[in-house]
Amino acid sequence: MCQRRSPEGTDSRVAGPTLAQAHWWLPGALPPPRRRRHTMAAPAPDLISVFSSPQELGASLAQLVAQRAACCLAGARARFALGLSGGSLVSMLARELPAAAAPAGPASLARWTVGFCDERLVPFEHAESTYGLYRTHLLSRLPIPDSQVITINPQLPVEEAAEDYAKKLRQEREKIVAPISDSPKPPPQRVTLTLPVLNAARTVIFVATGEGKAAVLKRILEGKEENPLPAALVQPHTGKLCWFLDEAAAGLLTVPFEKHSTL
């Protein structure tokens, strides 16, 4: 993701692995786009949760994913769609999600669809491939059919890869997948979902850990900037926006938040 994108794009400082990993549930057709003006007010998340450690955060996050899946799959023909990004989130979910999802059983997991919100344009065997990491550490432990894991075609040029990925997502009424050629964090070429997709989700969760994220989180959650960071523009039209932070990442916040501890 690139910080120089228009509001239709996204920003590596706020949604990619350099700051936070976000999970987007995309449970159906994209609604008609809603025009939003930039305002100077900070977004109002439905929930800011602060945990004592990344381990406690990961356990709670996995439970929330499992709960949202169960809610979405209440109908006999319903499906659950989960969008993932990379970075430290891979190991966090690999450690916690298989056990959290296990009680639902294989039949439920067979109705999951998994995609990737920000994917590096590298071969799947490359160490920077988001899908490659999830395939090795998480997907190999979940009975989700390969046909329901939606990936880019890394052999295509970045523009064509974005178009191909959009077709796979079956949402072609507007630009929902952006090709990035100048990401500030290598590798420079990526394929990333745009704000209309994120704001159509039922649940959006940003996950951030570490003291290095504290200053930019304060800008996002408390800032009153004329041109806010793209993460501040993630405001689901009818869905829920959550932030899962550890104590170090939340260290500069003055807005109210919920403190959690499983100890």
Q: What single-letter DSSP state applies at residue 240? A: E
CATH class of this structure's domain 47-260: alpha beta
pLDDT recorded at residue 5: 32
pLDDT recorded at residue 32: 34
* Cα 169 from Cα 181, distance rounded (Å): 21
Identify whether the C-beta of residue 194 lies closer than 8 Å to the C-beta of residue 10: yes
**Pick from 121, 81, 97: which is nearest to 202 by CA?**
81
Find out whether the peptide bond into 123 is cis, omega within 30 degrees of 0.
no
229: helix, coil or strand?
A: coil
**Distance between alpha carbon 7 and the CA centroid of its chain, in Å?**
17
Annotated domain spans of the chain:
47-260
pLDDT recorded at residue 90: 94
**Pick from 2, 4, 3, 10: which is nearest to 198 by CA?**
10
DSSP per-residue string spanning 145-206: -GGGB----TTS-HHHHHHHHHHHHT--SS--EEEES--SSSS--EEEE-HHHHTT-SEEEE
pLDDT recorded at residue 262: 61
Taking only the tens place, the pLDDT of each residue in 144-203 is 999 999 999 999 999 999 999 988 887 544 567 888 898 878 888 998 888 888 898 889
**Distance between alpha carbon 243 and the CA centroid of its chain, in Å?**
11
Identify whether the C-beta of residue 196 lies closer than 8 Å to the C-beta of residue 34: no
- Which strands make up the sheet holding 112-116, listed edge to edge? 112-116, 80-84, 20-25, 203-208, 240-246, 47-51, 258-260
Identify whether the C-beta of residue 137 lies closer than 8 Å to the C-beta of residue 94: yes
129: helix, coil or strand?
A: coil
pLDDT recorded at residue 21: 40
96: helix, coil or strand?
A: helix
Residue corresponding to tokens 């916690």: 96
Which residues of the chain fall below pLDDT 50? 1-41, 172-173
